[in-house]
Amino acid sequence: MSKFIEKNIATILLAITCYFLFSISNSLKETSSYSSDLRACAQMKTFINNKESSELYKQKASLATKIPIKFITEYCKKLTQQNLF
């Protein structure tokens, strides 16, 4: 067993490094998606008092988050509450 490890140490270390890099990559992807959703919701909430702009930013937030327009308000509410705590 030790001879196998000695001969293939570079491959084993490369595999471990790749695993961790892949893990970090997935984590960064999820974080960026979360930040993008928060940004879209913040823009939507900024223009909530203006009827025309509100609908436009609802559509933009819906496209950015891939959530249907009729559920985007509730999604943003839950996302904001989750971010506070």
pLDDT tens figures, 41-78: 888 888 888 888 888 888 888 888 888 989 998 998 88
Host domain of residue 72: 2-84
Domain count, the chain: 1
Q: How confident is the model at residue 85 (pLDDT cuts 50, 70, 90)?
A: very low
Q: How confident is the model at residue 24 (pLDDT cuts 50, 70, 90)?
A: very high
pLDDT tens figures, 30-45: 888 888 888 988 888 8
Task: Label each residue of 32-77 as H, E or C.
Answer: HHHHHHHHHHHHHHHCCCCHHHHHHHHHHHHHHHCCCHHHHHHHHH
Q: Which two tokens stand for residue 14?
A: 């490369």
